[in-house]
Structure 1
């Protein structure tokens, strides 16, 4: 019996030794088939210290879906792409999405769950961030920024407003923004008038809506182009051009009317949200626009023509035909920087005082594009992805990604050179933006172009487009930037809110646009049909639309 127990104990000891040896043979030899978790020692061992380059000790590939840019020939062979890969040791496998189908493709990808590691330059809306962030599709970036985001943390420290704008209710940050504080873009609802015609007819720059009416009438009847024909077009607009809708400038002499972004016609005053198109002042604005249209002072094509058709009128090769137009810059209706030089002969009309004394220059709130960089739950190396994007905020990297190579597309300013804002300059653009090229990303993805950065570019004098736009904005629009009423910022929304808003806003905005055109053309009589117009909007549940926006605004401002 004793011999049997000894034998059993010996067998057990042998089995224990064998199992221990087997276990030890696998230790540290990488034979396990389990995928390492993100953020483990495997990932950490690749990273260099935050803020240094290269980012990784070994080359890492990120799969990135990017919005196609008509000014970029090829993201894969782009000079900045190659330079940044060499500096960071991060290779990008690009999936380029055509710009015109960007939103459709984004929706399909999010619905299919076939995500890339990174979504880049796709302008993902705050509502989409909120929906897919709470579902775990988009990773919260807070901890990644804290550990790896050297440049992002510096930006947040300098500009806490940027951090606040991209922080969702609940405290999570799901995306990094593109910061482009285009000073002239921030008040882009402008009108431009052909100054030589004013001079020839002995007319002063209009300062009220009534004075504009008289100027446009003189353009139509007094042959300012001097060809003996009644071919002048006093005012022509393209609804498809940048900031060129028919009510974008003129309606702000009657009621605050922000036109652009996700909250069209929506404003906030004393913490309360409302819309411009139900107000009695909107009705008065419609009557004024109808008067201009009925007397042939607004071209009938202003509701239908595209930007190319408008530019053909503005650049008529023989005589000047176009008296005035609206848009963020002269390139909306002329050949910007073109050989004819006609673009430079148009100057801005200041914000006009309406019959009720109203003069608004809406703040378009375009300086911050949210959703420029997001990491999905498919990313194996989110720390590396965050470091890669974080580096794009560096001063030199912003210049390279947006303008190109040093001393070819841009250079450092020389001692004594003055910037656009009249202060000492820091850099100079050597080639004009807007040409198809393959040396930069042409304003795609995160970058840090603050007002200080943009206005520190070397001024090239009175013919410098940036100088012109700066001065026109500062002199004719900033004085009318209101302090008691504002444009609603982009809002984070829940899935339920976003779904309900999508249906309601399309129905309402389509109807408002339709009736705007009908009232102006005269197909509908604004006095006789105003009550029906208002009751129709009520029936479309406009009250609920405003209520949802108010809920989202309150959640965002009180987070």
Structure 2
């Protein structure tokens, strides 16, 4: 295993614990219920060859909607991959903002498609629905029909152990994206021309950030003589863009990675949460101050990413001073005609009143639960072969970036990559624009750290170069040393069922109260104690106990 992948995965080397009665990790109830499906009804070509079948076959796939993809059905990569594999896809596209609600409804109703792709099914959901037989175990399918997946496991054994459930089964394939800048993606972006116009420095503390936003609001930096500047506006559901994602880390460590254990961390071997601590209260007080001064747009709690981008790309004049997110495409049009996206620069982690200054670090270089085959699949072997092919280098380049020699090409002799080594490929058209030639990071793909950084460094305006440098120079120095983000944890079926209800109850309440405390609908001095007591009543202690048990077991392995 090479050095960079060891670093990427060292924080979460997974373990396998076999359930009682399972001597080889494969004889689970989930497999027993799904074993009749593993005999394909069609004759497949030899693994690693194309087309996959002689006569065209159809797979029904539920997929997460992607704002960068115009239409999965007419997409260029969809058509290309269908021609190569001889497999037609019937798509059911689920809106990104409601994908978890839709997933829950589908799983409860058992109205499954053949495949669920891109819905980021959590380890807990994999364990629950895998052992119940709704998701097929993939172990034998990988062995017989997954040459690329087997190579992936051989090259990076920690990936296999990470996605292996407690019963020894693999219920979902991951998307591999060993993305350096993604590992510290809770960023704030600020419009640099306004700083220069008002003779302001990049803020380094929470007080300085307040003063900058105040100046944006009051000193007409866009120069149109109107008080129309919006100092800070966000979209709660965009990538790493919630109101607490960046600013709360000036008060307490607040990673938002992982749907079940966001705001959760490990300190001195103990699991804990940020949102019931006095430091969280002070962070909310700061956010409330920004809101009451008119520095946070009220729409921040209701608008979607498209509405925010309309603000960021206002055609007449610049309106938006700052926003949060993993990259500027959360609030502007990446590579848009205005070029405005490149004028927003990353704000380093701000030092809070007590010296707290964290850049939260993701613990995983993969997205688990990217591809599952359900018990309704008539040809699970075909589904496995179809997904396995997406890990091939050319297929990854096509699915993520587009067509060879149009959106990307092989590197030329002498070209240097982002990492300073000889480059291997070149991104002709930058990722991030709305298009219909690729799937824009939807579904299985194989992008290691080496792969990403072997792209030709195309100057300072290259998005990947910009994000690499902003992360390296501004965020890496503040990576946590005394606390860590929770790694992916598989739970037993009983634990998963219990924690799923607890996580939804607790996290929904926390999200509701963040908004209420920030806008002043709830009073921090009057209502804080009741808020903490309500968390206790929701059995937060049991929630932490379950994850502590799983973490302790993982630590032993």
Do both share a fold (TM > 0.5)?
A: yes
The two structures, once aligned, show a CA RMSD in angstroms of: 3.0
Tell me if 1:403 matches 2:401.
yes
For the pair 1:479 / 2:470, whether they are aligned, the reply is no
CA deviations 1:366-422 (Å, max 9, x no partner) are 642222222334555544433332222111121122223222232111112222333
1:219 is matched with which residue? 216
* Long gaps (5+) in structure 1: 1-35
Structure 2: gaps of 5 or more residues = 1-34
> What is the rounded CA distance, in whole Å, between the counterparts of 1:115 and 1:199 in structure 2?
55
Tell me, yes or no, if structure 1 residue 468 matches structure 2 residue 466: yes
Q: Count the aligned residue pairs.
A: 520
What is the aligned partner in structure 2 of residue 4 from structure 1? none
* Cα distance in structure 2, aligned partners of 1:106 and 1:364: 24
Aligned residue among 536, 544, 547 for 1:546: 544
Q: Relative to structure 1, is the Cα distance of residues 289 and 147 closer, same or farther in structure 2, using a 3 angstrom cutoff?
A: same
Question: Structure 1 pair 557/119, CA: closer, same or farther in 2 (3 Å)?
Answer: farther
Structure 2 distance, partners of 1:77, 1:198, is 44
Are the structure 2 counterparts of residues 103 and 259 from structure 1 closer, same or farther at C-alpha, using a change threshold of 3 Å? closer
In structure 2, how many angstroms separate the alpha carbons of the residues matched to 1:372 and 1:337? 27
Who is 1:152 aligned against? 149
Q: CA deviation at 1:348?
A: 0.9
Note if 1:120 corresponds to 2:105: no
Structure-to-structure mapping, 1:84-99, within 5 angstroms: 84-88=81-85, 90-99=86-95
SS of equivalent to 1:338: coil
Distance in 2, Cα, partners of 1:377 & 1:241: 32
Shift of 1:167: 0.8
The alpha carbon displacement at 1:477 in A equals: 1.0
CA contact (8 A) 2:335 2:430 kept: no
Partner of 1:182: 179
Contact 1:131/1:493, CA 8 A, preserved across alignment: no
Partner of 2:200: 203
Summarize deviations over 1:446-485 as a string: whole Å, max 9, x none. Answer: 1101222122222221222222122111111122111332
| Aligned 1:20-39 pairs, distance under 5 A | none
Match of residue 419, structure 1, among 417, 420, 445: 417
Going from structure 1 to structure 2, the CA distance change for 1:37 and 1:348 (only over 3 Å counts) comes to closer
After TM superposition, the structure 1 stretch with the greater mean CA deviation from structure 2, 339-348 or 45-54, is 45-54
- 2:256: which partner in 1? 259
Q: Secondary structure at the match of 1:477?
A: helix
Moved more, 150-159 or 489-498: 489-498
The answer on whether the counterparts of 2:124 and 2:500 sit within 8 Å (CA) in structure 1 is no
SS in 2 for 1:145: helix
Q: Superposition pairs for residues 252-331 of structure 1, below 5 Å?
A: 252-262=249-259, 263-331=261-329
Would the aligned equivalents of 1:254 and 1:282 in 2 still touch at CA under 8 Å?
yes
Q: Given the superposition, is the C-alpha separation of residues 175 and 236 from structure 1 closer, same or farther in structure 2, using an over 3 Å criterion?
A: closer
Could you tell me which residue of structure 2 aligns to residue 386 of structure 1? Answer: 384
Q: Which has the higher mean CA deviation after the structures are superposed, 354-363 or 529-538? A: 529-538
Taking the aligned partners of 1:229 and 1:72, their CA distance within structure 2 comes to 36
Q: Which shifted more, 330-339 or 445-454? A: 330-339
- Offset from partner CA, 1:433-456 (integer Å, 9 cap, x none): 345555433322211012221222
After TM superposition, give the deviation of residue 155 of structure 1 in Å.
1.4
User: Which residue in the other structure is 1:22 paired with?
Assistant: none
1:337 to partner: Cα distance: 2.2
Contact 1:424 1:456 in 2 (8 A): yes
**Contact kept in structure 2, 1:62 and 1:117, CA below 8 Å:** no
In the alignment, which residue of structure 2 is the partner of 1:61? 57
- CA shift at 1:65, angstroms? 1.8
CA gap 1:211/1:111 in 2 versus in 1, 3 angstroms: closer
TM-score (norm 2): 0.84
Task: Give distance in 1, aligned partners of 2:207 and 2:226.
Answer: 26
Task: Say if 1:418 and 1:295 are closer, same or farther in 2 by CA, change over 3 A.
Answer: same
Counterparts in 2 of 1:290 and 1:37: CA distance versus 1, 3 Å: closer
Match of 1:191 in 2: 188
Residue number among 332, 335, 345 corresponding to 2:333 in the alignment: 335
Offset of residue 76 of structure 1: 5.3
Task: State how far apart, in whole Å, the 2-side matches of 1:288 and 1:105 are.
Answer: 35
CA distance in structure 1 between the partners assigned to 2:37 and 2:517 by the alignment? 59
Q: Which has the larger radius of gyration?
A: 1
